[in-house]
Homo-oligomer: A and B are copies of this chain.
């Protein structure tokens, strides 16, 4: 699981920071999370393969999280795409999207499969062989959602020496990898743990987009390996954060701590901060394993974080 930050600014981009977009890579599949203006250019700059993006998650309908989508969808079409795009976005956005594409004479040669987001509780919105994705509600000026990506446990690994030792037939291996024991001809049961090793622990990534602080959020992202949480403001601007439906560095860190997250990335920085190191220091006072989101940087989930 690898996360690449394409944009880390809040509503006002700077020359260093583009509006929000993340790409999560899981087993060579790419998940695009939010799509601020310039996302397709950042994708090209970071040599990410456009054609491998099949799922796009939009947290809420504010322009700095969406305005790159029209260009990206149009580019998919111009590149000859014909496989569906799965789009997860707040309820009603499919109508807005279709109307705006029509206004611009954009005819897509592929299907958009839309999943509307709504409600007050976590909902499983994707479940395939490799991964599940849950949406959960945030607390913003408009309806806003976070996303929790969980790898599924992999199969157990055969210990090669045991295969020859116990003369395990090839046909039995798939079942053993799934956890079954092996029974010798004489009826002796060889326990699964004796002939296999455990797969790597499945990893998880949670994306907390624009939100004010609320204590239940840490339950939604309990025990996550890597937590991204917006931190638009420093702690002195707590009131402004509350008024605008955003978080301070300390809010983000508190949620990471209460969730028992393994690591925290903060981002969505207000353009007022030229140097963001003090924002990171503030967050670290509550949650030490914090790094800042930096455009173009990648983070391997489960590895020690290095900004």
Interfacial residues, chain A to chain B (CB-CB below 8 A): 11-15, 18-19, 37-38, 40-41, 44-45, 61-64, 66-68, 70-71, 74-75, 78-79, 96, 99-100, 103-106, 141-142
Within 8 Å CB of A96, what residues of B?
100, 103
A41 contacts which of B38, B78, B141 (Cβ < 8 Å)?
B38
Within 8 Å CB of A79, what residues of B?
12
CA distance A18 to B19 in the complex (A): 16
CA distance A134 to B187 in the complex (A): 93
Q: Is the CB of A45 within 8 A of B105?
A: no
CA distance A13 to B44 in the complex (A): 9
Within 8 Å CB of A105, what residues of B?
61-62, 141-142
* Min CB gap A165→B, angstroms: 54
CA distance A15 to B38 in the complex (A): 11
A-B contacts besides A19-B71, A37-B40, A38-B41, 20 pairs, CB < 8 Å: A11-B74, A11-B75, A12-B78, A12-B79, A13-B75, A14-B44, A15-B41, A37-B41, A37-B70, A37-B71, A61-B105, A63-B70, A64-B74, A66-B104, A67-B70, A99-B99, A100-B100, A100-B103, A105-B141, A105-B142
* Min CB gap A64→B, angstroms: 7
Chain A contact surface mostly: loop
CA distance A61 to B66 in the complex (A): 19
Q: Is the CB of B18 within 8 A of A62?
A: no
* Min CB gap A115→B, angstroms: 19
A15 contacts which of B45, B66, B78, B100 (Cβ < 8 Å)?
B45
Q: Which of A19, A37, A78 has the most CB of B within 10 A?
A: A37
If A37-B40, A37-B68, A67-B71 touch, does A61 touch B103 (CB 8 Å cutoff)? yes
Within 8 Å CB of A100, what residues of B?
96, 100, 103
Q: Is the CB of B104 within 8 A of A61?
A: yes
Q: Is the CB of B63 within 8 A of A71?
A: yes
If A63-B71, A142-B105 touch, does A13 touch B37 (CB 8 Å cutoff)? no
Which chain B residue lies CB-closest to A9?
Answer: B41
CA distance A44 to B18 in the complex (A): 11
CA distance A14 to B74 in the complex (A): 14
Q: Is the CB of B63 within 8 A of A106?
A: yes
CA distance A66 to B38 in the complex (A): 13
Within 8 Å CB of A66, what residues of B?
104
Which chain B residue lies CB-closest to A36?
Answer: B71
Q: Is the CB of B63 within 8 A of A104?
A: yes
* Min CB gap A48→B, angstroms: 11
Within 8 Å CB of A11, what residues of B?
74-75, 78
CA distance A13 to B71 in the complex (A): 9
CA distance A11 to B141 in the complex (A): 34
